[in-house]
Copies of this chain bind each other. A is one copy, B any other.
Amino acid sequence: MKKALDFATLLGLFVGTAAILGSIMTAGGLSGFINVPSFLIVIGGTIAAVLIQYPLNDVLKIVGVARQIIQHNSNDPTELIEMIVKFAEKARRDGLLALENHIKEIDDGFIKSGLQLAIDGTEPELLNDILDTEISNLEERHKKGHGIFDAFGTYAPAFGMIGTLIGLVFMLQSMEDPASIGPSMAVALVTTFYGAVMSNFVFLPIAGKLKERTKDEVQNREMIIAGILSIQSGDNPRLVRQKLMTFLPPNNRKNDEM
């Protein structure tokens, strides 16, 4: 497990900002797109709706989650396989109990507690059950986080539209001065613009990335369970590796026979 910058996200943020800002700058300048009240109603309304929908603790937690979008703990499945195979070799040579000394070096809590259970002599079915429950509880907790970003992505365009409606109502109420109609409507539309950009450029893609990350993490953990069960049953390290390889796409397998 190591901290890794997510270059795709950074690149995406850069490309998207360039596309949107560039298109605005070349067309005439940013000034018409900066509107504090528009921004306040979209961001305020969206946060308000999310606060009503989710407990305060969970909403505050997403600040931490958001940081993970740029910099995240990545578990490379190939490295995981190497580590598990190394443990399998040690267990084969010196017995399962010999792993006890190496557990402290592991910084992934899931492998740690799984190996500890194996060393303690837990029945394979029970070990599988306990770790499976751990995975499904993880999925449940992560789903709440995804739900909050999805909610932001859903409410942002709605409050963008609400802000535009407010602007339109004021514009329509005072149409004596035809010259002011256009600019008033421009201001009203900026709110829709804010809602659409926040939703499609920020909240929905982030919700999507978090879902992908959870899928990867769940698959890694399922591979870890398979590995620990294989070690526990005394499998040959070569067989342990072969079993874990089926979790990788064919191209990434060392002995790609499929």
A15 nearest CB neighbor, chain B only:
B48
Q: A248 to chain B: closest CB distance in Å?
A: 9
Contact call A186/B172, Cβ cutoff below 8 A: yes
Contact call B186/A45, Cβ cutoff below 8 A: no
Q: Contacts of A113 on B, CB cut-off 8 Å? A: 257-258
Per-position 1/0 for A63-86, Cβ under 8 A of B:
000000100000000000000000
Per-position 1/0 for A174-203, Cβ under 8 A of B:
111001011101100110110011011100
A28 nearest CB neighbor, chain B only:
B170
A74 nearest CB neighbor, chain B only:
B55
Per-position 1/0 for A33-56, Cβ under 8 A of B:
100010011011101111111111
Contact call A13/B169, Cβ cutoff below 8 A: no
Chain A residue total in the interface (Cβ 8 A)? 100
Determine whether A159 belongs to the interface, using a CB cutoff of 8 Å to chain B: yes
Q: Contacts of A98 on B, CB cut-off 8 Å? A: none
Contact call B37/A196, Cβ cutoff below 8 A: no
9 contacts between A and B (CB under 8 A): A7-B56, A8-B51, A11-B51, A16-B48, A26-B37, A28-B173, A169-B189, A172-B189, A173-B182
Q: Which residues of A contact B (CB under 8 A)?
A: 6-9, 11-20, 22-24, 26-28, 32-33, 37, 40-41, 43-45, 47-56, 59, 69, 109-110, 112-113, 116, 130, 133-134, 137, 140-141, 144, 151, 155, 158-159, 161-163, 165-176, 179, 181-183, 185-186, 189-190, 192-193, 196-197, 199-201, 204-206, 208-209, 212, 219, 246-247, 249-250, 256-258
Q: A22-B37, A162-B196 are in contact. List 4 more A-B contacts (CB 8 A).
A: A16-B44, A112-B258, A137-B247, A165-B192
